[in-house]
Structure 1
């Protein structure tokens, strides 16, 4: 299996080979244990993987005895290898007292064939041009922020026109959960674990800035750093769903937060 990571680095699980997709001559190989560890994390992308789970599946399962700091040492080695191949994004996130997490949208997988490797090289984009943009502004979050900013600018003119509603570009919203009687939607589909965490964060922002009002809906989006480490950016909007189709909103109250 070949994993494509952040559209920048390819990793072959069978032999631990890693290379820069745009520059295939930039390559290195992970030894057995770090290759096995990285494969396990990639196969479980979008899932929180605990330290004990890694010890059981990477060491104990094969009759190996890990040292006290084995997991940290090999995670550090994998991160260094990714950086050496041009991937500056934080692919493996450490969540204190919980474990390690890889965002599923950063990873794709395919069986290695000559055609697939050529396609990956042809479609790759330079990592340095993307890392800052993706790290801080998820495309959906950025687009939605622009829309809401426009709504807030137009809001003062509401009294002059009597009634001003807003039509959002057609897109799919994914239900995360409920805040009291108000449904909460996200801009991307995540795992059950991330949905529960995002609902909790949405509840906190709602309580502080925009409590639920009956028959209105919340739209919430956050970066992975904010979701797990309370750092980065998050956004929540409470809107009236005028026609109950999730495509025509009015009277939006939006909150955008940033935590270092």
Structure 2
């Protein structure tokens, strides 16, 4: 079973992944509790789901330990991945002192229709005709269409197909991509050719792990590559490791260098 959010993000329940609907990006795997939480919110979209109900349906019923910390981390991870995949609107809303809600403004579609059930025949050996007999020639019941209209329709279809192809192959890529986890921090990187280097990604995550950084629910780590601030070696760009926090009340994000780890963000 698959769900589509705002015609952009595909939630595959079977694999527990979130990905772009255009199939040009690798899916992001989420944890089993996060998957169960998202399914629960989808089933009750527009209604507030209490923390107690979430604890039972996501953790307790599966023999797992539930806690406010585990729930907050799941919600934070889902928000981060959904935002990285291109939906800037708040998908999961916090209802203070009650629980969480999948916002009713978010368009959620079931994009994988169930297979229709085939009625069993009481007499398997006798074929059952469920439609009218086909005429000897189907073309006998079709109106005669001038040939010029046929060519015009084909030309229009080719123009539409060319436009779709241009949109797919020239669509702008997301500005940030998911890199992995370092401790309880989610690590993203501005789109760069370095993302294709798995050894580089592993080293970056290992470095972030060594810093023993603790991220709150609205914080994450961001790696940026820039040529504007030149390095000592000519032609070599610099990488910047930032710690970012979402200030929801101001609708902005604030990023600082890791050396300012103990400094507080603006409130």
**TM-score past 0.5 threshold:** no
TM-score normalised by the chain length of structure 2: 0.41
Larger Rg: 2
TM-score normalised by the chain length of structure 1: 0.42
